[in-house]
Amino acid sequence: MLTRILDRLRLRLAGTGGLPVLSLLGVISGVLVGLLIVLFRLYIETAQGLLLPGGDPENYEGLPAYLRLLLAGGGGLLLGLGFYLFSREPVRVGVIHVLERLNYHEGHLPLKHALFQFIGGGLSIISGHSVGREGPSIHLGAAAASLLGQRLRLPNNSIRSLVACGSASAIAASFNTPLAGVIFSMEVIMLEYSISGFIPVILAAVSATVVSQIVFASDPVFIVPALQIGSFQELPVIIIMGILIGAAAALLIRLTRLAVIQSKRFPVPLRMAFAGLMVGLLAWTAPEIMSVGYDTADKAILADIGILLLLWIALIKVIATALCVGFNLPAGVIGPTLMIGALLGGAVGQVMDMFPGASSHPGFYAMLGMGAMMGATLQAPLAALIALLELTGNQNIIFPGMLAIVSANLAARELFGQGSIYRVQMQESGLDYRNDPFAQSLRRLGVTSVMNTDFVLITPQVSRERAESMMGQRPQWLVIKADKRHLLLPATDLARYLEENTDETLNLLEIPAQRLELAPIRQQATLQEAHSQLRNTEAEALYVIRPLGVSADRIYGIITYQDIERGYRLRGQDF
C-alpha cells in the first residue's frame, strides 16, 4: 500500500501537479536543515568560546601573534591531512560543489562530502581562516534536502527543487534572513525564477528560520541605528563608492582565480597548510582578518576604526580570502565580502564626514559597502540588496543600497571584466554551469510526466495469432526486445503488414517497417537528461526503467523527441 502511494506521489512530482506535495517536502526539508544549521553553529561557537580569550567567539585579536600563526597554520595542515587520508578521491565542498552536482548530477549530493563539509568547514572557521560559515551552510542544507529526496527515490526534477529549498533554508537559518535565502537560492544556485519554484523554497526558508530563532532569537546579525541618507547630494558619492568597491570585488575575484591556478601545483595537505600559514602571517599585522569578522564589521559601522586602519585591514582581508578560497579551504566567501564591504564603505563615510554639510553617518556608508561588495563578488544584486536589508533591519537602506550595489556590479563586470566568483572557481576547476531557458524548462519535468505508456513488449519472432491479439489492444508502439537491443516499431506498420500478408510466422526485424533504436533512461530522470541522452547516443527514442537489478528491470514507458517537445510546451503554458 505504502509503495503504491509513493509511486503515485512520484508520478505527480514528475509533472506539473506536484506543487502541494513539493510544498510539504519544502517544509520538512526546512525543519531538517534548520536543525542541522543550529548544530553546525553550536559546534563552531562552542569551540571558539572555549578556545578564545574571554570566551568571545570572535576575539582572535586577543590571542598572541604566535598562537594566531600556530592556530591558522595547524588548522590548515590538519584539514589537508584529513581530506587527503580519509578520501581516495578529491572532495569538493561548498557552493561550488552544489552547483557542480546540480549541473552534472541533477542535484544528487553524496553524504560523504557533506560530512567532510560539516567537520572541515567548522574546523576552518574555528582555526581563524579568512572565510565565512555560509558556504558550508549552503552545502549542508542542499545535501540534507537532496538526501531526503534520494531516500524517497523522488524524480530528479523534485530533487533539484529540494536542493533549492535546502540552500535557502541554510542561508535563512544561518543569518536569520529568510527572504535573502530565497532570493540567493533562486538567483545564485538555481539561476531561475518561477512561481511554482518559489513556493516550496519560501516555505522551507520560513521553517528553517523558525527553528533557528527558537535557539538563537530573532535579532538581526548587525545591531545598528536607523541611519539614513543625509542629502541627495550624496548620491554621486554613493555611485563612486560603488565603483571603488566593484574594483575591490574584481581584485578579490582575480586573486582567487590566480590562487586556484597555483593551487593545482600542490598536493591537498600542502595546499591547505600553506593557505592557513599565510593567514596566520597576514594576521600578524591585522588580526581582525581572522575567521568571519563580524565584530570588525560592527566597529566599522560604528566608526570605531580609523580610515588608514580600515583600508589596511580591507586589503589584507582581500588577499587572505583569495588565498583561502582559491586554495580550497572548506568554507565560504560571503562573510568576508560583507566585512570587506563594511571596511571600505566605512572609510568612504569617514572621508565624507570630514567635509562640512549634511552628510550621512559613516556607518551608513559601511552598510552600503557590505551590500555592494557581496553583490559585485557574487554577481547577485537582488540577493545582496535583500541580505543587506535583513542583516541590518534598516529599511532606509533600500534606495541608496540599490544604487551602490548596481554601481559595484557594473564596475566589476563591465569595467574590470570579472564575473561571479563562483563561476570563476568552476571554470578554473574544469567545470561550467550552462543554464539556457530551454534547459531550465526541461529540468522542471520528469520523464514519467510525458512518457507514452501505450505500448506492448514483444519478441522478434511472433505468430500471426499472437500479433493479431496484441493489435487488438490498439497500442501505439511495439517494443521489440532483441538480445541486448531494444527497438521501437510503430503499431500501424505491423497492422498494415498483417492486412497485406498472410504469413503465419512473422519476423519483426525483417518486415517492411520503421524501426527506431532505443536507449534506456532512468525513471527519476528529467526531460533535460532525456534530451541529452538522445543527443549523445545513436538512439532515436528512449525506454523508461526503474533499475531493480539486471533481471528485474521493467519498462514503464517510451520517450520520443515529440514527447519532449510536448513537455516543453506544457511547461511553457504553466509558467
Q: What is the pLDDT of residues 174-220, one digit of tens each?
A: 888 899 999 999 888 887 766 667 899 999 999 999 999 999 877 76
Q: How high is the pLDDT of residue 259?
A: 93
* Residues 6 or more apart whose Cβ sits within 8 Å of residue 45: 57
Tens of pLDDT, residue by residue over 362-413, are 888 999 999 999 999 999 999 999 988 888 777 778 889 999 999 999 999 9
Between 231 and 112, name the one with better pLDDT.
112
Q: How high is the pLDDT of residue 549?
A: 47
Average pLDDT, the chain: 86
What would the DSSP string read from start to end of 261-284?
HHHTTS-HHHHHHHHHHHHHHHTT
d(CA 344, CA 253): 17
pLDDT at 552 over 60: no
Q: How high is the pLDDT of residue 575?
A: 43
Average pLDDT of 57-64? Answer: 89
CB contact burial 369-405 (16+ within 10 A = b; e otherwise):
bbbbbbbbbbbbbbbbbbbbbbbbebebbeebbbbbb
**Closest by CA position to 428, among listed 278, 259, 276:** 259
The helix or strand, by DSSP H or E, that contains position 27, with its residue range, turns out to be: helix 19-51
Under 8 Å between Cβ of 204 and 178: no
Q: How high is the pLDDT of residue 88?
A: 65
pLDDT at 437 over 80: no
d(CA 210, CA 104): 33
Helices (H) then strands (E): counts for the chain: 23, 8
Q: How high is the pLDDT of residue 338?
A: 93
* 2-57+90-219 belongs to CATH 3.40.1390.30: no
Q: How high is the pLDDT of residue 118?
A: 95
Please determine whether the domains at 232-428 and 442-574 fall in the same fold group of CATH: no
Average pLDDT of 316-326? Answer: 94
Minimum mean pLDDT among 164-178, 263-277, 421-435: which range?
421-435
CA dihedral angle for residue 45, residue 48, residue 53, residue 59, rounded to 10 degrees: -80
Minimum mean pLDDT among 303-307, 446-450, 546-550: which range?
546-550
C-alpha cell at 178: 529568510
Between 434 and 556, name the one with better pLDDT.
556
Average pLDDT of 314-328? Answer: 94
Average pLDDT of 342-359? Answer: 85
What sign has the CA pseudo-torsion 539, 542, 547, 553?
negative
Q: How high is the pLDDT of residue 432?
A: 61
**Closest by CA position to 253, among listed 101, 379, 104:** 379
Question: What residues does 516 pair with on adjacent strands?
Answer: 488
Q: Supply the CATH classification number for the domain 232-428.
A: 1.10.3080.10
**DSSP label at residue 515:** -
Q: How high is the pLDDT of residue 389?
A: 86
CB contact burial 94-109 (16+ within 10 A = b; e otherwise):
bbbbbbbbbbeebbbb
Domains of the chain, residue spans: 2-57+90-219, 232-428, 442-574
In three-state secondary structure terms, 152 is: coil
Tens of pLDDT, residue by residue over 441-482, are 777 788 888 888 888 888 888 888 888 888 888 888 888 887
Q: Which fold has domain 442-574?
A: CBS-domain (3.10.580)
Beta pairing class for 505-507 and 461-463: antiparallel
d(CA 30, CA 145): 8
Q: How high is the pLDDT of residue 547?
A: 62
Tens of pLDDT, residue by residue over 251-293, are 999 999 999 998 888 888 888 999 999 999 999 999 999 988 8
The helix or strand, by DSSP H or E, that contains position 557, with its residue range, turns out to be: strand 555-559
